[in-house]
């Protein structure tokens, strides 16, 4: 397991140039035990303070407005693509978080109707609802 973590860390080090915690610990241990290796030499040059200072040493002068921009020699005018309404129901604007999705089956959210039998509001019999009730009789038939 540890070797796998170290290999993943080394792969990340090769991709980003930033060493993982295992490499940093090894470098500091080597420096503490008298090795002549400087731990900072293991980091890529792009992450050094001297490189950052060199990159931002010059000054960029801003242009005051679009009237002072150079005119483009492009003969065509670039226009955005035509907008067309997408087919189907539009997506919700707000996506629910994982906490909200996990509360759906709890007290605050909607309960699932799966496995439940429907009860009619008119006749209080099970197996149909009030819309499909045919007046099959029951305790509250005289309601309407």
Residue 31 confidence (pLDDT): 77
Q: Which residue numbers in the chain have pLDDT < 50?
A: 1-5, 140-144
**Residue at token pair 């503490």:** 32
For residue 23 the two structure tokens come to 């490499």
The pTM of the full predicted model, rounded to 2 decimals, is 0.28
Residue 3 confidence (pLDDT): 47
The answer to whether 1 touches 7, Cβ cutoff 8 Å, is no
Residue 82 confidence (pLDDT): 92
The answer to whether 143 touches 122, Cβ cutoff 8 Å, is yes
Helices (H), 66-118: 98-102
For residue 56 the two structure tokens come to 């931002």
């Amino acid at each position: 397991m540890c070797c796998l973590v170290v290999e993943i860390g080394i792969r990340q080090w090769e991709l980003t140039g930033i060493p993982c915690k295992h490499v940093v610990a090894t470098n500091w241990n080597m420096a503490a035990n008298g090795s002549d290796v400087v731990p900072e030499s293991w980091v890529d040059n792009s992450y050094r303070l001297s490189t950052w200072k060199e990159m931002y040493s010059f000054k960029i002068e801003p242009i005051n407005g679009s009237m002072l921009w150079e005119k483009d020699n492009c003969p065509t005018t670039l226009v955005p693509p035509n907008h067309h309404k997408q087919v189907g129901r539009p997506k919700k604007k707000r996506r629910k978080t994982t906490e909200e999705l996990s509360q759906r089956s709890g007290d605050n959210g909607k309960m699932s109707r799966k496995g439940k039998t429907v009860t009619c509001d008119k006749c209080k019999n099970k197996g149909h609802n009030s819309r499909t009730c045919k007046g099959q009789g029951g305790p509250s038939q005289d309601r309407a």
